[in-house]
A and B are shown apart, each in its own frame.
Chain A
Amino acid sequence: MDSNRRFLSLKPVLGLVMILTAVPVKVQAAEVEGTVQLSGPIPAPEIMAIESKKGNHSTEGCGSLKKASQKLLVDPMGGIRNAVVWLDLPRETPTSKAVLLDQKECVFSPHVVVVPPGTQVVIRNSDAVLHNIRIFEEGKPAMLMHKWQKPQGSDPWRFDAPGRYIVRCGVHPWMYAWVVVLSGTGSVTSPEGRFTIPNVPPGRYGLHVWHETLGTRQIPMTIGEGKEILNPIRMSRAKNSDEEISR
């Protein structure tokens, strides 16, 4: 009888404990923001003077033949465009949506595409000239794909393995783009060098930066909850050191 009474007196407390343990603690994922900036003098945009050979019509429809080189684009504040920034945090739901890589006035647009493994990239010719698509994996001379592409044509290519791939045009040697296949979570920097990585659970990560001319950096960092605004990540033409980044 005594034990029954004791149980009845504890019942509301036990109920409260059960409710509290049944409700999961919601951890707020962070949105990581930052910029990638160049250390040292800001280079002037490099303009390529493309020759149009007499009798060769391959540049007709390419627009101006004075085109900006895409190798290193830096804004007046030092922001580096087209750097790839990612965390070694596996993507939860890889997208199956196709991504467009267009050719307009004999320039690939965008210049850098970041996709998860298994993504189909549709390469389109929006020009009035013939293009010649060639895909290579970085560091390997052998070609993965080769296709002539008539005006308004489009061809898909599925990128399954993580890595960096170069898409070139065999007719117009200045034309190229990068497809960066990441198993981690990342993005490409804007013309001002800014990037945002959403939905990052709190934790300790390696943050990686890659730029086609400046190379790579790896920085250990800790992400908390809410919005995380990082100090600028510096890249230089000299060796980029790995260091802890503060917030």
Chain B
Amino acid sequence: MTLEVDFGPAGKPSVHRTLQVEKGATPEIVTAMAFPVEKGSVCCDPREVAVIDGVATDPAANRWWTVSLNGSKKVSPYKTKLKPGDVVRWEYRQNGQ
């Protein structure tokens, strides 16, 4: 599967990696294979990803991590089971305020 991370306004270069993962792996597990990841209740559940490679969600600046699977936002970082060929993409985005 492919892991893409766009650090956006954090200023780090984007990352594109191909990884071999075991059956049953989730986007959160795959991301933690490539980067230090911290979990926390960003929206609704303490299992959510709050920090990737030192870049944290920032509620004051309205900066958040969003994840997509094969272009779809209908994905749970800690529930969805990945299949061979899947593309997990994380984007660090800043909303206007």
Contacts and interface: CB of A to CB of B under 8 A. Distances in A.
Contacts of A212: 60
A141 B58 contact: yes
Contacts of A143: 40-43, 59
Interface string B18-43: 00000000000000000000001111
A219 interface: no
Contact of B97 (A70, A134, A139): A70
Contacts of A138: 59-60
B50 interface: yes
Interface string B67-97: 0000000000000000000000000000111
Contacts of B97: 48, 69-71, 173-176
Contacts of A170: 43
A142 interface: yes
Nearest to B58: A141
A146 B46 CA distance: 12
A69 B96 contact: yes
Interface residues of A, number: 21
Interface string A68-82: 011100000000000
A216 B33 CA distance: 39
B3 interface: no
Q: Is the interface of A mostly helix, strand, loop or mixed?
A: loop
Contacts of B43: 134, 143, 146, 170
Contacts of B44: 146
B62 interface: yes
B96 A141 contact: no
A176 B40 contact: no
Given A70-B97, A141-B50, A166 B41 contact: no
A170 B62 CA distance: 11
Contact of B62 (A139, A142, A173): A173
A71 B61 CA distance: 10
Nearest to B97: A174
Contacts of B58: 141
A136 interface: yes
Given A142-B50, A168-B59, A173 B96 contact: yes
B95 A141 contact: no
- Of the candidates B50, B57, B58, B97, the one having the most CB atoms from chain A within 10 angstroms of its own CB is B97
Nearest to A69: B97
Contacts of A174: 95-97
A141 B50 CA distance: 6
Lowest 3 A-B CB distances belong to which pairs? A136-B59, A173-B95, A142-B40
20 contacts: A70-B97, A134-B43, A136-B59, A138-B60, A141-B40, A141-B50, A141-B51, A142-B41, A142-B46, A142-B50, A143-B41, A143-B59, A146-B43, A146-B44, A166-B59, A168-B62, A170-B43, A173-B97, A174-B95, A176-B62
Given A69-B96, A136-B59, 4 more contacts: A138-B59, A141-B56, A146-B44, A170-B43
